[in-house]
Amino acid sequence: MEELEQGLLMQPWAWLQLAENSLLAKAYITKQGYALLVSDLQQVWHEQVDTSVISQRAKELNKRLTAPPAAFLCHLDDLLCPLLKDTACPGKATFSCDRVAEALILRVRSELSGLPFYWNFHCILASPSLVSQHLIRPLMGMSLALQCQVRDLATLLHMKDLEIQDYQESGATLSRDRLKTEPFEENSFLGQFMVEKLPEACSVGDGKRFVTNLQSLYMAVTRQEIQVGQKLRGTEDPQASSSASSQGTDSQLLNQPEEPDSSAPPLPVPEKEPTVTSGPTQRPQLLKVKRKKLRGLFS
């Protein structure tokens, strides 16, 4: 399921209007299952299933259809992709959603091989860790990235002002007065922005503006999060594997008896170098040490 979790994190959010419900949604579908995340900006719902659930639910909802789970998943992908990308859906497909207690059911009605096709996504409330992974951490990362961008733009404006000043001191003049600008004052600009622009700029509304304007930045931030996580796992795993390998080799050498038991079959001496599976720092030559040398080491 790690592929589904990581694939879902990499997906952009889409804005859906289903009857009176405005929703943000993202989905990731493979041949092994699907993961779906839906939010109304008040709550977040999630469903992740594998092929066994697909087969069981398909039998319950589509008794006249018989197909492998991969076929149903492919059809669901064909239906969801146009919906999430706000493009025309092939064939006739309708979507609706109902709230049952704390769950959200997204219903799909379509056709498959000329027969009616029904599907229900049973989404339960997402865990706090999932909300943090898909919303809180990416939004914090986006805020920091935008703040860094503002600082870089302010620095660039100061450099442009110095360049203009140098031109003026060299005797250059503007050919058109309407192009003249005042030197950039960062504190004055930020204060004016807070008063005049902030109310409109931070109006979340139904989330459509977030989906329309910021998804490229959202995906860049989540991609960076995944890469950092992979690097951290890559630096931690070899150390743990090397430690376990070293301890295992030492334990084998210390527990090996000096004289073999006459009742036990003799240990075969490996003709070929064994395959290394525990880590890059394991020393397979230790396993090829002859018995005489082992007795000499521990005598």
Q: Report the 3 state secondary structure along the chain.
A: CHHHHHHHHCCCCEEEEECCEEEEEEEEEECCEEEEEEECCCCEEEEEEEHHHHHHHHHHHCCCCCCCHHHHHHHHHHHHHHHHCCCCCCCCCEEEEEEECCEEEEEEEEEECCEEEEEEEEEEECCHHHHHHHHHHHHHHHHHHHHHHHHHHHHHHHHHHHHHHHHHHCCCCCCCHHHCCCCCCHHHHHHHHHHHCHHHHCCCCCCHHHHHHCHHHHHHHHHHHHHHHHHHHHHHHHHHHHHHHHHHHHHHHHHCCCCCCCCCCCCCCCCCCCCCCCCCCCCHHHHHCCHHHHHHHHC
Residues 6+ apart with CB under 8 A from 226: 6, 9, 10
Q: Which domains does the chain have, with CATH numbers?
A: 1-126 (2.170.210.10), 139-232 (1.10.287.450)
pLDDT of residue 42: 93
8 Å CB contact between 24 and 13: yes
pLDDT of res. 200: 87
Query: How far is Cα of residue 55 from the mean position of the Cα atoms in its chain?
Result: 26
Give the bridge partners for 26, in sequence order: 37
Partners of 23 in the beta sheet? 16
Q: In the structure encoding, which two tokens stand for residue 13, read together?
A: 């959010």
The CA angle 98-101-107, to the nearest 5 degrees, is 20
Residue keyed to tokens 């939010």: 39
Q: What are phi and psi of 144, to 5 degrees?
A: -65, -40
> In this predicted structure, what is the pLDDT of residue 78?
92
User: Rounded to the nearest 5 degrees, what angle is found at the Cα of 292, between the Cα atoms of 290 and 298?
Assistant: 110
- The torsion angle over the Cα atoms of residues 131, 211, 15 and 1, rounded to 10 degrees, is -40
Q: Helix axis angle, 215-255 relative to 137-169, nearest 10°?
A: 120
Residues of the chain with pLDDT under 70: 1, 88-91, 236-299
State how beta strands 103-112 and 115-125 pair. antiparallel
For the CA atoms of the chain, what is the radius of gyration?
31
